[in-house]
Structures are given as structure tokens and as C-alpha cells.
Amino acid sequence: MLESYEGLEWGAMPEDLKTGFRAWFRDHESWRKMAFVTDLEWIAKATRAFAWVAPGELEVFPLGEEDAARAWVAD
């Protein structure tokens, strides 16, 4: 659940990239559904815009719908 965002930590970028590539290439088929929960509209829009690069399905839910997000992922 993302409630706030204070910017990127450039020092974390190598680890983020490594994790992203690992998820995409090695673990791609393990990621069938991901739910992203936020009320930050720009984050929700960016997530939807780049959902096509995510392995599996990705859905954005507003805060307060965490149970619906969990149920969607578990379905």
C-alpha cells in the first residue's frame, strides 16, 4: 500500500534494476497478478500506463479497498 512518496533514492537504483530484471526474466511466470493500492492519482496513472511491462496482470485499487485487492490477487 502506497500512502506517500518522497522521491527516488538514486543509490537504490542498481538493486531496483537487478530485482526488476530478475522478476522479469527469471521469475516471470511466477507473477500472475499484482495489486497496487494507492490514492495518489499520478502514481495510479503511471502504474496503469506501464502495466504492460509488468509480468502478469496488474490492477490499481484505491486506499480503503485493500480487501478487494487481496481478493482479486487470490482469485
Task: Show me where the domains of the chain are located.
Answer: 30-75
**Does 61 or 16 have the greater pLDDT score?**
61
H helical segments located in 1-75: 13-21, 41-49, 66-74
The pTM is what? Answer: 0.64
Where does the pLDDT of residue 73 fall: very low under 50, low under 70, confident under 90, or very high at 90 and above? very high
- Mean pLDDT over 50-72 rounds to 90
Could you tell me how many residues make up the chain?
75
| pLDDT, tens digit (0-9, with 9 covering 90-100), for 10-60 | 777 788 778 777 766 666 666 788 898 999 898 899 989 988 877 788 999
